[in-house]
Structure 1
Amino acid sequence: MSRHHHNHRIHKHEIEGKNLLFSILLNTLITIAQVVGGIISGSLALLSDALHNFSDVLSLLISYVAHKLSRKKATISQTFGLKRSELVAAFVNSLTLVIVAFYLIYEAITRFFDPVIIKPGLVIWFSILGIVANGLSVLLLKKDANHNLNMKSAYLHLLTDMMASVAVLVGGLMMHYFEMYWVDAVLTLIIAIYLVVVGVDLLIKSTKMLMLFTPEFIDIKAIVREVHKIEGVNKLHHIHVWHLNEEELHLEAHLDCTHDITLSQFNLLLQDIEDVLYDKFGINHVNIQPEFKKEDPKDFIVQD
């Protein structure tokens, strides 16, 4: 079986690992401070914020390790290297977001039936601390989050935690000036519901990539139509399109040629196909098996 593998142009965005390390340090300090403040003040919202911060620390550590692993070079036993480790990290982080969110929902509902008098002064000051520290971390990771699902998962942890701190601050002020202690549980519930929404969305995206689903923006039939316009192509079939990671979009397929051409002629034909796939669909890794009047299924999608 003759195959050709082509590594087309890949524009990589360099991820700043040191930004993750700084965010890990900040969130560790916030977590310790908010646990102490939550216990002293009796604020569930502040403790829930601390719990979320702790999950941030874990998620950032996972993201950092995955970032380092993904840069390892391929070996004989790991022919793709560890490039998919960042997808695994995004999956784990999004799953923890959802788990933490459901725990907070449970705690918030419990607090409704068992209200606690809270010391709002501490809540206010510790929530301000959380806003400043998380806001700085969000700014550090914002650029990387636009280019990498792993970094986006870490960024979302920090962004939602900053929003949670804002909500806790509002709650602290309402408790201080209006003695509305029930708002602590309400804000916790709102924070948790938002976490479920963003966590599930990221969980679905990372799962689809790990399961090698065809990306949503890829139309297999459109690919076939464009490739079939190229002279020398009879039928493109047995097609698979998937993300190895966010930078590498792969296509694997069989190509039935119109003529019994030489390998050098096939190289020219393949170059035309690669250019079309990259320019029109952003596919930068192409693996084509050439055929001529071979007896096999010719459907676009065939279960191998």
Structure 2
Amino acid sequence: MGHSHAHNHAHPELKGRNLFISILLNILITVAQVIGGLLSGSLSLLSDALHNFSDVISLIVSYIANKLSRRKASLQRTFGYKRAEVLAAFVNAVSLIVIAILLIIEAIKRFQEPQEIESEVVIWLSILGILANGFSVLLLKKDAKSNMNMKSAYLHLLTDMLASVAVLVGGLLMKFYQLFWVDSVLTFAIAVYLVYVGYDLLKVSTKVLMLFTPDHIDVQKVVNAVNTLDQVKKLHHVHIWNLSDNELHLEAHLDLEADVTTTQFNRILEKIEQLLHEQFNINHITIQPEFNKKDPKDVIVQD
């Protein structure tokens, strides 16, 4: 059986320090908004505080996962903790959706019975939320492009910033036009957006945890490409999955045209590795060579 992961798959150095700064900022925002929400009677401010508190939890989860993912593999944990960040993304997505549903229920109740709200407190605390979350978003933006865990943290903070903008608009409308029902409407809108963002992240992280073939990979094209190589009869029993954001694995059986030596198979394997890495960015390959073996030769076989 041939196995390789020698091709370049450099892991970007993720900035845990930026996550830690974001955690501290969100703790500050949460405490301030809880106090302000209770004093002003604003549900949207309290919902924003609840959202920020969920972000504190999710950012801590992301921070721990980021640290765990760097730990080396061992005899008991042969993959190390590389999936910790995917699991963190999944947990964060679920928390977003649950919180959003609770906010929707509360917003509907409050809309039926609008209450007078101290808008000055709402305005100043929403500005604080915009500034702090905006800074956190800038800190994590770069890493969010290449890492699912960082993306989940980034999305939490981005939605926080947008929610604070909405709360600011609501505070201004309440201050100058006494439209107190706007507080409930904004809460509802924020919650619906949270469901939308959370569902997309939940879907992506679930696919990775379930070892589904990545959306950008066409298994049949992979098989066809390998089958064009010399001495290859058919690639079958194929599994392709993401272990983490940076590791794309292929495991398969390879039916050969001839009963080759180990040295000859190594040359064939090198060509397969190069082809799959260059065309499909697959960087971990495990191949089981076969010749005249009586077993199913279907591309996908339930093992």
TM-score tier by shorter-chain length is over 0.9
Residue 113 of structure 1: CA displacement? Answer: 1.2
* 1:247 alignment counterpart: 246
Q: Which amino acid aligns with 1:187?
A: L
CA distance in 2 between counterparts of 1:291 and 1:204 reads 37
Structure 2 segments unaligned to the other structure (5+ residues):
none
Is the 8 Å Cα contact of residues 137 and 157 (structure 2) preserved in structure 1? yes
Are 1:133 and 2:128 counterparts?
Answer: no
- 3-state SS of the aligned residue for 2:251? strand
Residue 119 of structure 1: CA displacement? Answer: 0.5
Residue 6 of structure 1: CA displacement? Answer: 3.3
Residue 14 of structure 1: CA displacement? Answer: 1.1
Are 1:191 and 2:181 counterparts?
Answer: no
Per-residue CA deviation, residues 70-96 of structure 1 (Å, 9 max, x unaligned), is 110000010000100100000000000
* 1:116 alignment counterpart: 115
CA distance in 1 between counterparts of 2:208 and 2:238 reads 17
Are 1:170 and 2:142 counterparts?
Answer: no
Are 1:157 and 2:125 counterparts?
Answer: no
Residue 9 of structure 1: CA displacement? Answer: 1.3
CA distance in 1 between counterparts of 2:45 and 2:111 reads 16
CA distance in 1 between counterparts of 2:291 and 2:8 reads 29
CA distance in 2 between counterparts of 1:110 and 1:239 reads 53
CA distance in 2 between counterparts of 1:148 and 1:29 reads 26
- 3-state SS of the aligned residue for 2:240? strand
- 3-state SS of the aligned residue for 1:244? strand
CA distance in 2 between counterparts of 1:153 and 1:81 reads 21
Residue 249 of structure 1: CA displacement? Answer: 0.1
* 1:182 alignment counterpart: 181
Residue 114 of structure 1: CA displacement? Answer: 1.7
Q: Which amino acid aligns with 1:150?
A: N
Structure 1 segments unaligned to the other structure (5+ residues):
none
Q: Which amino acid aligns with 2:184?
A: A
Residue 60 of structure 1: CA displacement? Answer: 0.2
* 1:280 alignment counterpart: 279
CA distance in 2 between counterparts of 1:45 and 1:7 reads 52
Are 1:205 and 2:175 counterparts?
Answer: no
* 2:91 alignment counterpart: 92
Per-residue CA deviation, residues 7-57 of structure 1 (Å, 9 max, x unaligned), is 421032110000000000000010000000000000000000000000000
CA distance in 2 between counterparts of 1:146 and 1:251 reads 24
Is the 8 Å Cα contact of residues 235 and 254 (structure 2) preserved in structure 1? yes
Over the aligned positions, Cα root-mean-square deviation in angstroms equals 0.7
Residue 3 of structure 1: CA displacement? Answer: 3.8
Is the 8 Å Cα contact of residues 241 and 251 (structure 1) preserved in structure 2? yes
Residue 122 of structure 1: CA displacement? Answer: 0.4
CA distance in 2 between counterparts of 1:54 and 1:6 reads 40
Q: Which amino acid aligns with 2:159?
A: T
Per-residue CA deviation, residues 210-266 of structure 1 (Å, 9 max, x unaligned), is 000000110011011110110010010000000000100000000011011100110
Q: Which amino acid aligns with 1:110?
A: K
* 1:18 alignment counterpart: 17
Q: Which amino acid aligns with 2:259?
A: D
CA distance in 2 between counterparts of 1:75 and 1:249 reads 20
CA distance in 2 between counterparts of 1:157 and 1:75 reads 33
Is the 8 Å Cα contact of residues 83 and 244 (structure 1) preserved in structure 2? yes
Per-residue CA deviation, residues 175-226 of structure 1 (Å, 9 max, x unaligned), is 0001010100001111000000000000000000000000011001101111
Per-residue CA deviation, residues 119-165 of structure 1 (Å, 9 max, x unaligned), is 10000000000000000000000001101000111111100000000
After TM superposition, which residue ranges in structure 1, 4 or more long, deviate above 3 angstroms? none
Residue 4 of structure 1: CA displacement? Answer: 2.7
Is the 8 Å Cα contact of residues 138 and 158 (structure 1) preserved in structure 2? yes
Are 1:107 and 2:110 counterparts?
Answer: no
Aligned pairs, number: 303
Q: Which amino acid aligns with 1:34?
A: Q
* 1:268 alignment counterpart: 267
Is the 8 Å Cα contact of residues 7 and 286 (structure 1) preserved in structure 2? no
- 3-state SS of the aligned residue for 1:86? helix
Is the 8 Å Cα contact of residues 83 and 245 (structure 1) preserved in structure 2? yes
CA distance in 1 between counterparts of 2:238 and 2:291 reads 17
